[in-house]
Each structure stands twice: as C-alpha cells, then as structure tokens.
Chains A and B, each alone.
Chain A
Amino acid sequence: MEATAYRPVDALRRVAPAALAIIPVSLLFGVLAGRSDWSPLEVALIGLLGFTGSGQFAVLPLADSGAGFITMLLLTASINSRYLPIAYVSASRLPRTWGLRALLAHMLGDEAYATEGEQDSWASLAVIRATLFLTWVVAGVAGAVIGNLIPAAWLAADLNLGFPASVVLMFLSASQLRSRLPQLSVSHVRLSLAVALCTLIAVALIMLLGPLYFWIPSVLLATFVLARVRS
C-alpha cells in the first residue's frame, strides 16, 4: 500500500492524547524507582534503552532483590513477546537505512502501534514513536526527581494512575477494529461470532497462562480463527 505524504502536524495531533495519557504512568515509575534509590540518570537510561512500561515496572522489584540478568531477561522477553508480531507487521513502513530502522523499531510501543495507520509514511511513524518515546523518558526522569518530595501517604492511596492510559489504548484498539474488521470481507454474523470466539480464547488463555504469557498463543489462535472465517 502506498504511504501518504509526510504530515508532521497531523501525526503530532493524533499522538498527543496518547502521549498525555502515558505521563502519569511514567511519572509513577520514576517515583517508585526514585524511592528504590535509582538515580535520575538510571531512570533515564532504563527509559531510553528499555522503553517498556510493563517491563520496567516488572524489573524494579527484581533489581531491588538482586535478581540475575537471565532471570530479568526471561521475564521481560516473555512480557514483551507481543511486540514480535507487531514489529514484524509494521516493518514494511520503516525506512531502509538500518540505523534509523533499528531506532524506530526500538521506539515501538502499544500506543504507537495503535495510533499509526497503514498509510502513514515512515516520517509520520517517526513523529508518533519519538513523541511517545521522549514523553515516556522525560516523565520518568521527572518522576525520579520529584519522587522524594511526594508524601508517602499519596503513594499508598488507592489511586489508579494508569487508568487514563488504559482508556486511550482501549479507544485506539476499538477504533482500529472498527476500521479493520470490515476489511476482512466476511458476513456480519460470521464476523461477530469469530470475534466472540477470539475474545473467549483470550480470556481462557489469560486464566490459564496469566496476563503476561497469554499473548503469543492467543494472538496466533485469534489469527487462525479470523483467517479460517475469511476462507
């Protein structure tokens, strides 16, 4: 499919809500890391080199307890295994220059993938991914800096700071499904049944394998179901 012209303002306008929504999550990571005696430089490095919300939160207690490299690698690779198919599918929209290609691949995140469109040029992808990436890193460092200024009671409060980010990802996922499902060219009833089956499979695998390890089998099974219903 042909990529559209580079429209940085349009890309920025589309990514801005998602960027705003991840700020509280990254701030929270920075605050928690700061309270575990991580310096702002260390928080900046883990954001720049790691760049994964769930993975960063997962290694925080592991690093505190002195876990080894292999343990942390196995855990974070399992948590982030969902990026394998996403990265592969979106690779065709990346530039051919290997350095830039690798950098943009590294900056891939859930919110970026859900914001990007099939017709976006690689430059628009760069704006979307870099905006989310830099927002995440800067907010994390800010969290580490202000972490020690926040009263401990605030952190103990039952306030789900990550919910706005979940809302944004849900909106983007539902919007993507609204535009993608009709492209499968299947009758409405068959499509609804297939989506319901995929949902049930995902729930069953979450119950069976847990929310960290269900991704790959669930995505593969959903792909199989949707491919079968198309044929």
Chain B
Amino acid sequence: MNTSVLLAIAALFATSCLVRILPVFVTLDLSDATRRILERVLPTAVFINFAVYIFYSEAAKAPLAATVALALVAGIAVATRLGLIVTAVLGSACYFLLQTLFAG
C-alpha cells in the first residue's frame, strides 16, 4: 500500500476523531439558557450556513442554473408539502436543463 495514501487515510481518521468522536464524549456543565441555545439556536445557525454554503459553492460553478434551481428547491421545501424525491428530481432537471440551454 502506498505511503502517501496511508498518510491521507490516517489524516482523515485523525480528523474524524477530533471533530466528530471527541465532542460526543465531552460533557460541559451548562446553564439552562446555554443549553437551550445549543439545542435550539445553534442547529438553526448551522442550517442557515448550510444553505448559504450550497448556494455559494454551486453558483460559483453555474451562476444562473444553480441559483434558479436551488431557489426553486428552497421555495418548494418552505412553501409546499412536496416530498424530497420529487423536489430533487425537479431541482436537478431544472439545473441540467438551464445548463444545456445556456451552454448551447
């Protein structure tokens, strides 16, 4: 097995231990207010950042197609009861259609 590959695997495993495994064994003595912030507010902040990150990273590759398709997906998720599979198909179809139209 290649040494560089082994080092890469070791680096990723060490990363997982640091950022995913270690935090679940850490116990902090928190007040109720702090605990509420961690349980309610922090996850909301994470999902806002997920959404912004996805918009940014995809818009950097295909500004128009990604913006329209992701706005469509976010709109459907917020405003309708349409399921994930149908929405994913609609969003992906919209993206690849716009890509094809504007590439040609």
* Residues of B6-63 whose CB lies within 8 A of A: 7-21, 23-26, 37-58, 61-62
CB of B11 within 8 A of CB of A76, answer yes
Whether B78 is near chain A, meaning CB under 8 Å from some CB there, is yes
- What count of chain A residues pass the 8 Å CB interface test? 89
Footprint of B on A, CB under 8 Å?
A: 17-18, 21, 37-39, 41-42, 45-46, 49-52, 55-56, 59-60, 62-64, 66-69, 72-73, 76-77, 80-91, 94, 98, 101-102, 105-106, 108, 110, 113-114, 158, 160, 163-164, 166-178, 180-181, 183-184, 195, 198-199, 202-203, 206, 211, 214-215, 218-220, 222-223, 226-227, 230
What total count of A-B pairs have CB within 8 Å? 242
- Contacting residues, chain B, for A98 (C-beta < 8 A): 25
CB of A77 within 8 A of CB of B54, answer no
Given contacts A105-B21, A174-B51, contact A69 B11 (CB under 8 A): yes
Interchain nearest-CB distance for A67 vs B (Å) = 8
Q: Complex Cα distance A97/B2, Å?
A: 35
- Contacting residues, chain A, for B41 (C-beta < 8 A): 184, 223, 226-227, 230
Q: For chain B, which range describes its interface: under 10, 10 to 19, 20 to 34, or 35 or more residues?
A: 35 or more
Instruction: Specify the main secondary structure of chain B where it touches its partner.
Output: helix
CB of B19 within 8 A of CB of A81, answer yes
CB of A55 within 8 A of CB of B15, answer yes
Given contacts A46-B12, A180-B47, A198-B45, contact A170 B38 (CB under 8 A): no
CB of A206 within 8 A of CB of B56, answer yes
- Given A88-B26, A177-B47, 5 further pairs, Cβ under 8 A: A63-B7, A89-B42, A108-B20, A173-B54, A226-B41
Given contacts A180-B47, A202-B53, A219-B49, contact A17 B10 (CB under 8 A): no
- Contacting residues, chain B, for A62 (C-beta < 8 A): 8
The 4 closest A-B pairs by CB, nearest first: A50-B12, A174-B77, A222-B45, A72-B11
Contact with A226, one of B5, B20, B45 (Cβ below 8 angstroms): B45
Interchain nearest-CB distance for B4 vs A (Å) = 4
Can you show 7 pairs from A to B with CB atoms below 8 A apart? A83-B20, A102-B24, A105-B21, A178-B78, A184-B41, A198-B48, A218-B49
Contact with A56, one of B2, B12, B56 (Cβ below 8 angstroms): B12
